[in-house]
Chains A and B, each alone.
Chain A
């Protein structure tokens, strides 16, 4: 095993005890994942394990072309197949609507804009009958020209105008979102730069490849309501209102259930669209219905969009950064979350470095590429890719050590960045130094036999965590037997969130983890808590839970004070008992301090306490953002809650005759107080190294006129265990931001200094490997993935 660095938390431990928590008995500990055995044995509450008697199989007929006119759909043969209960097209009023941002047909009837668009739906008694029916539906198409390139699509005179009427933002017919950022005097700062670097980095689409494809089950209840089980990352923010809205029911009439553990998300399960189709089928047939995407649909229904960057950065001779000009083009067949991606790219540009001038233009346009959805990091990995490649080249041009260049220009805690936000939780220098220390400890580059060459690369990275939708609530239900039930939204995506939330509550109440239980996430009783996206569940949900434990203690201590003949502030709690501080002898169980039901003699059997609503006064107020410049106006207004920071180092071997790239050594770290170090290391190894390595070296969406060619895991080349460095060569570092970098954080108790890790870990990986490859072969490559053909072409051998 390589190095496992976890920063010293001693100082923090004492502070936590002073604040009345357990003093890190449970938080910050390597607690085993409570769902581990259920996950490996398959008995966990996966959505696809939900099965109801008489359940119908729902299947979608999908379009094979990139872009086509539908000239006819004939379902008559399919309807006659034995076992087929229902066949629907957009002619049925239930399927005539538009999904998401109103530009995406539930079922297409006139035109299809993307490979995999659904054109018909079937419900049948068996999968066999459903598949027969799909085969029997006769759809006639007339192929139309495709535009796959988001930059060409954004042209003022594009060759294909996708929609009618065209959205026409900035005089560009296909462009539906334009986002600017203007700060300082770009021309002046560029002109005053001694050195500039220009490049056009590009990241093609890459699907999420979740361990299990989307699935949902819905059942019509006799009272007109429906129950829906959907394999989603959250229920309140998007899936619940989407399903209810699409089937025309009040949200209260849709009982929405999340999975015990979502079977992999990476952003691809934020919308829960399978649940829309299942709900529609059950309302029409009054039978339970399941919609389960197969592997091909799993790879095709969503992906990261194609990102094309044009970037130029400048610096003074001494390495002081001056200006950055960046243009981003992204595209997809439907708006989905693409506009938000462009907004968030601003945070990537301004989230690490001090710039004197910034000009950023982001264009999202309609193309015929694969449909999209938020993808791990939601613009951070793609933006850091562009910026960190340019920084690496700049260091070379300046003849400066690339870490020194970075350290010189990293923002300081509390400083205002180029969006005029006060910068919080800045741990990047610490992480960068630690990862560099690991890289230096690898010693000199090894000698390798010809034609292999060795390269080393380094990259920092940042990821914002958004604060919109931060109205969080969490309920805690105290049982008479000392158990506490946790009731929240937010799904564990295999990340260990179900464990971490127990750790928060155990730490807050000073009780063993085993005394905490997380209940099923559903809309019947779970409150709107923040969701498992934007790396925010740990932070926001954790805040709500810690706040609930504080509220509970206040209430319990007030009730216990007369019994213990002490003041509430002199009480403490441990292992389900309340006592005078330092005097365990006279302790009473919590249950004695549960409030009485009015008119009844003793305390109630249970106690329900809520907490949450995180609205710090320096977040989004007072002030606003100027849409023309993306400058935050007002003393405290910020567009993000905080940034998390990361760094990677890699050693690669490149074969100059075959173009093979092997990552031999790797180190990755991030800045946080780890709620559970094992979980964070899991994110680093899985999310940063494996997922990042895949997208950088082997994964891509090859297509021909918009028809995707890699429809299986054979052709979409996700790395295997044989493709990653051996475990001895993998170092990880968890660098606390508490202390030197974080100053006297006013939010110590909320939520214990923890911040999200999941997405950001991927931000430095692609640029790090790219920088290592450039170091090895002496040629700067900018378009991932670096497959052998790309390497050999760069070397003039293909």
Chain B
């Protein structure tokens, strides 16, 4: 059959789509961050971004959130994945329940935790009901940046652990059972099997999950908006403010470029840290 051109023909729409709406626009972000509407190159937008008082706070909040959330999620997901992989009864049901948050948007997750942590929310109802406190506590007020931070952490761990779980369960599924049986024959206990077989063979999946999750962590936005409003500035929120509220699209682009560069840098870093030589793969 005359197949030579068919694959190219089939790939053409997707390729054009990605070139036009993915690669090219990201090129434009960089351009917009450095060029005025008249096309004059300038660094004034970058300066404007870095000199704004919110810049440092937004940057450090975003980084600290990622640093606080992602390790918890990785460990939790790994624990959940090992439980699931050993289950015989009810595996599908439990897996379904644990992956539910995958379908829930960040905004909805924020609202869900707002219902719990709001001043009139369920947590306060519980605390007062049990007599632990006698007044509802304002967890999410502007004076309580720390509790807002913890609230966002909770919501993020709640919402976005599922995506790691799915990747890890798929990865564990690829590890042949014989390896475990062989290790058991040699007398390796549960923990040994986990550290000597599961972890090393799961490295490519861990890499994928970590990359994906870290990038999503830098995009944190709607959860923060729902729980903290503008009390906890994050980078993505600043992009939104600049673009939509302040109509200052060049500075927005500068923020976007910053997020982009951080994301790419971390992707490369994770790829390098968790690299697996080709020969050592499954």
A and B from one complex: no
Report B's interface with A, CB cutoff 8 A: none
Report A's interface with B, CB cutoff 8 A: none
